[in-house]
Amino acid sequence: MKAIVNGRILLPDTEVHSKALLYDEAIIGIVDEADARREADEVLDANGAYVAPGLMDVHIHGYGGDDVSDDDPAGVRRMSEKLLENGVTSFLPTTLTVGWDTLISVCGHMRVLARESQRPEYPGAEILGVHLEGPFINPERKGAQNPEYILPPDADKVLPYADIVKLITLAPEMPGGYDCIRTLKQQSDIAISMGHSSATFDQAMTGIGLGVTRATHLFNAMSPMHHRDPGVVGAALNSDVYTELIADTFHVNKGIYPMLAKTKGSKLVLITDALRSAGMPDGEYENGGQVFVLKGIECRLRDGTIAGSVLRLNQGVRHFRDYGGVTMAQAVRAASLSAAESIGLADTKGSLSPGKDADITLLNDDCGVLKTIVRGVCKFD
């Protein structure tokens, strides 16, 4: 049994002082420090740092030069190891709209890697499954997705991979969209997110009624709010769906953060939408058969279209805390428990509750990562 003492323990809505966190492979509980020092075989002094649940990125395409849609298992392994430095203990490798054969192959490789990543000796963050961002999207809102590979929504294509696909982004208004949502809802546990969509408010609300429970990267690649048709944005804000935010201060102006914090509360999910250029220098990169340019925090296709981000999830937590008018506990919740809830994994992930996997990150006041612990094993220090 291990213990972390002298830290500020973050619960979903508050922080606890002068207590210790006990864990082994799973969280045991929060106890008096004296008891922890007496009972634990190994004691870690946090030196006043935040003791937070491990961060979970449910929408990330690439990092450090690698990308999920390359269909290279070695690249995803490298990604998972590098993500530890950002406090990420688990993630959903996220595909782009690429060829269906490639997507099938990615799913097969991720089945193997997901099991591998649960082993104590695995050197990286745990792979929870796959997020299919497309190919069932609206060409009008394709953003930086490749239109060559867009397909009509078809649940029968996805259901054979329901064991590994945990999340799918689709446009509900496309022909076959409602049937696809209904079937996936009835025959799988896949979380369904509306995104890259030109849906009207009524169409989006119909999708929600059929089984949509999330909105992908709010405001980006979706019909905007208008007083005569609130669009996908209005439906996301006016319903109980979980709503993603890329909190890099570029995709969504930081002046919007307080409104989102008040409107969505615990249903707000921080993501990165990071590309292979994350953690890399400025320059030109390729994703899904298209070339984009990184300059500072901006990724754009050569025609100026915004193309994902280079955000680190711990940076997103800091931005949301500093500009959203929320506490550190609330900001971390948006990148941990809310993310886990949004894909149906809150029973085992997302908080420091007894019985859950011991996924822990130690953060300083600036949200810099000091240590990252995955299932009780320290994998970044």
> In the numeric block, which tokens belong to residue 253?
């102006």
* Amino acid, res. 214: R
Q: What percent of the chain has pLDDT over 90?
A: 96
User: What is the per-residue pLDDT across 152-210, written as a single tens digit (0 to 9) for each?
Assistant: 999 999 999 999 999 999 999 999 999 999 999 999 999 999 999 999 999 999 999 99
Question: Does the active-site annotation cover 163?
Answer: no
Query: Quick one: average pLDDT of 297-302?
Result: 91
* Amino acid, res. 47: N
Write the CA distances from 19 to 13, 46, 74, 119, integer angstroms: 16, 11, 40, 29
Backbone φ, ψ for residue 195 (5° rounding): -170, 165
Give the separation between CA 6 and CA 370, rounded to whole angstroms: 14
| Strand pairing report for 369-374 and 377-380 | antiparallel
- Which residue in 227, 241, 252, 226 sits closest to 172, CA to CA? 241
Query: Quick one: average pLDDT of 118-128?
Result: 98
Q: By CB neighbour count within 10 A (0-12 exposed, 13-18 middle, 19+ buried), where does 296 fall?
A: exposed
Q: By CB neighbour count within 10 A (0-12 exposed, 13-18 middle, 19+ buried), where does 322 fall?
A: middle
pTM of the model: 0.97
The DSSP secondary-structure symbol of 350 reads: S
Please state whether the peptide bond connecting residue 135 to the residue before it is cis, i.e. omega within 30 degrees of 0.
yes
User: What is the per-residue pLDDT across 353-375, written as a single tens digit (0 to 9) for each?
Assistant: 999 999 999 999 999 999 999 99
Does residue 124 surpass a pLDDT of 80?
Answer: yes
**Kind and range of the H or E run holding 79:** helix 73-82
Give the separation between CA 290 and CA 304, rounded to whole angstroms: 13
Strands (DSSP E) along 61-190, which ranges?
Answer: 62-63, 66-67, 88-95, 126-127, 130-133, 165-170
Starting at the edge strand that comes first in sequence, how are the strands of the sheet with 19-23 ordered? 27-32, 19-23, 2-5, 42-45
Give the separation between CA 183 and CA 210, rounded to whole angstroms: 9
> In the numeric block, which tokens belong to residue 256?
């919007």
The DSSP secondary-structure symbol of 354 reads: T
A 10 A CB-CB count for 370 gives: 15
Provide the pLDDT confidence category of residue 290 given band limits of 50, 70 and 90: confident
A 10 A CB-CB count for 13 gives: 11
Check residue 42 and give its pLDDT.
97
- Which residue in 97, 118, 100 sits closest to 108, CA to CA? 100
Provide the pLDDT confidence category of residue 287 given band limits of 50, 70 and 90: confident
| Strand pairing report for 62-63 and 66-67 | antiparallel
- Which residue in 184, 199, 181 sits closest to 141, CA to CA? 199
Given 57, 66, 273, 357, the catalytic residue: 273
- Which residue in 378, 363, 358 sits closest to 123, CA to CA? 378
- Which residue in 374, 345, 378 sits closest to 53, CA to CA? 374
Strands (DSSP E) along 304-355, which ranges?
Answer: none
Cα 302 to chain centroid distance, Å, stands at 27
Average pLDDT, the chain: 97
> In the numeric block, which tokens belong to residue 163?
């064991």
